Structure 1
Amino acid sequence: NGHHQVVSSLIKAQADVKGVHIDCQEVAKSTFAVELPPKQLDFGCSPSDSELSHQLHSALEQSGFTESRAALQSAAADVLQQILRSRLDDNPFFVVGSYSEGWGNNLTTLDGRTDANSDIDVMHLISGREYHQKSLCECDGASEQHELVNGHIQCSGFASNPAHATPGCPLRPALDNVDACRLCRYPPITPLLPNRVSNIPHPVLEALQKVLTSASSPCHVVHAASPDRGGEELRVSTSFLENRMLRSLTTLQGQ
């Protein structure tokens, strides 16, 4: 910010500690001999949307928001998930959310760290509890079934707070611990319906179809409800589908 004298004093202090003689003025000059972008002339002109878009793209590239970095971030999340399971007797824990999806865990730079204002979402699937949907369930002997309305099953008696926040510390980032229960099957997912015209690439659609039936990505509900419906319904989660979709993004799409 133009404080040349402050920089010169700091350089001199560092040199004195190391017992080295340097020309502080020359170093300060070279320190500030950085080519700065020309200032925008104030003639009522502003950058075009295209120029702003290219500037944002360049800044994100320099911050590491690229497809390869996002893939590495996702791989780190998969490893963390395996570590959690092995340390906690193979309990069904899942690392979900932005940390696992690869792109939004840290909006400063994509380098594997979790931003101070962010957290890691860890979902625990409660064993032995499974819900069933009316008109969709094909399970034998499922006596209690629940209506599905706007992505929620109508089931009362639960607090409408899906996450239990754990603050971070210098050794680990903050956590959001989410309890979830199995749902016997996914409800119809619009982009995956037969004969549905979609801009999603065919290989990604196939991968999403596999998620619907994979044991490693079980359909589940979390303790969240529509406005003014707290304690009366549970929300069907599509976090595994979202995860798979976001992991397929190109650099430009991810940015």
Structure 2
Amino acid sequence: FTNNSHFRCSPSDSELSHQLHSALEQSGFTESRAALQSAAADALQQILRSRLNNSPFFVVGSYSEGWGNSLTTLDGRTDANSDIDVIYLIPGREYHQRGLCECDGAPEQHELVNGHIQCSGYTNNPADATHGCTLRPALDNVDACRLCRYPPIAPLLPNRVSNVSYPLLEALRKVLTSASSPCHVVHAASPDRGGEEL
């Protein structure tokens, strides 16, 4: 063969990671901007809670995580084609995972399969979308329920080798056991399982 271009190897995970990092930096996603956006999401969450009598609202998704939300202007406004995700935890409704639940006298327990609670009878679309306007961005409002505890998270499993620093793993472990960051489930299902999973 004189032309080996058809037989090139696929890029490694490391190469793909570097390409993604480079592309994000070139498009304006930097650590400082992500931190600023996350802080803005925290402030928005506190405003929502204080204006709505400390109701259990959480700003989630790419906006709160500081990496997305299609910010296209220097003043932090959200692009018209994007939105901010807000969940409301329904008081008193909690799901329990079979084999993981340690609650005393827990009611019905459900199987956890590939990140989905096997529980039927719910719609497949969890979001109630509201359009944005000049004064505020579009919102996706989602009702959610608590899960009695977080499912196992790979980097935190015993004897797991990880490149994540020990202090960061400990901070994550602390957050996952805190009452202020409950695990939640929404009415969303894997393909062809609509109405059968959460």
TM-score by length of 1: 0.66
- Identity among equivalent positions (%) equals 82
User: Are 1:169 and 2:123 matched, yes or no?
Assistant: no
| Equivalent of 2:186 in 222, 231, 234 | 222
Shift of 1:201: 2.1
**By how many angstroms is 1:196 displaced?**
0.3
Asked if 1 retains the 8 angstrom alpha-carbon contact of 2:38 and 2:63, the reply is yes
User: 1:18-57 counterparts in 2 under 5 A?
Assistant: 56=23
User: 1:114: Cα distance to partner?
Assistant: 0.9
Report if aligned partners of 2:72, 2:78 keep a CA contact under 8 Å in 1: no
Task: Tell me the residue number matched to 1:115.
Answer: 79
Give the aligned partner of residue 130 of structure 1: 94
AA of the residue aligned to 2:52: L
Following TM superposition, by how much is the alpha carbon of 1:108 offset from its aligned partner in structure 2, in angstroms? 3.7
Of stretches 194-203 and 106-115 in structure 1, the one that deviates more from structure 2 is: 106-115
User: Is 1:89 matched with 2:53?
Assistant: yes
Residue of structure 2 equivalent to 1:17: none
Q: Secondary structure at the match of 2:135?
A: coil
> In 2, distance between residues paired with 1:110 and 1:206?
35
Matched, 1:192 2:156: yes
Sort the Cα spacing of 1:107 and 1:72 in 2 relative to 1 into closer, same or farther, 3 A.
closer
2:62 matched to 1:106? no
- Over residues 13-48 of structure 1, what are the superposed CA-to-partner deviations in whole Å (9 max), with x where a residue is unaligned? xxxxxxxxxxxxxxxxxxxxxxxxxxxxxxxxxxxx
Q: Report how far residue 106 of structure 1 moved.
A: 2.0
How many pairs are equivalent? Answer: 181
Q: CA deviation at 1:204?
A: 1.9
Q: Report if aligned partners of 1:69, 1:111 keep a CA contact under 8 Å in 2.
A: no
Q: Which has the higher strand share?
A: 2
CA distance in 1 between counterparts of 2:50 and 2:84 reads 18
> Distance in 2 between the 1:78 and 1:57 partners?
23
For the 8 Å contact 1:131–1:146, the answer to whether it is kept is yes
Partner Cα distance (1:54, 1:129) in 2: 40
Shift of 1:97: 0.9
1:103 and 1:110 in contact (8 A); partners too: no
Q: Which amino acid aligns with 2:65?
A: E
Tell which deviates more after alignment, 196-205 or 100-109: 100-109
Deviation digits for residues 99-150 of structure 1 (CA, Å, limit 9, x no counterpart): 1111212254575221121100001000010111111111011131111111
CA distance in 2, matches of 1:55, 1:148: 37
- Unaligned 5+ runs, structure 1: 1-48, 235-255
Residue 72 of structure 1: how far off its partner (Å): 1.3
Pairwise CA RMSD of aligned residues? 2.2
Q: Which has the higher helix share?
A: 1
- Unmatched segments (≥5 aa) in structure 2: 1-14
Question: Which secondary structure state, in structure 1, belongs to the residue aligned with residue 142 of structure 2?
Answer: strand
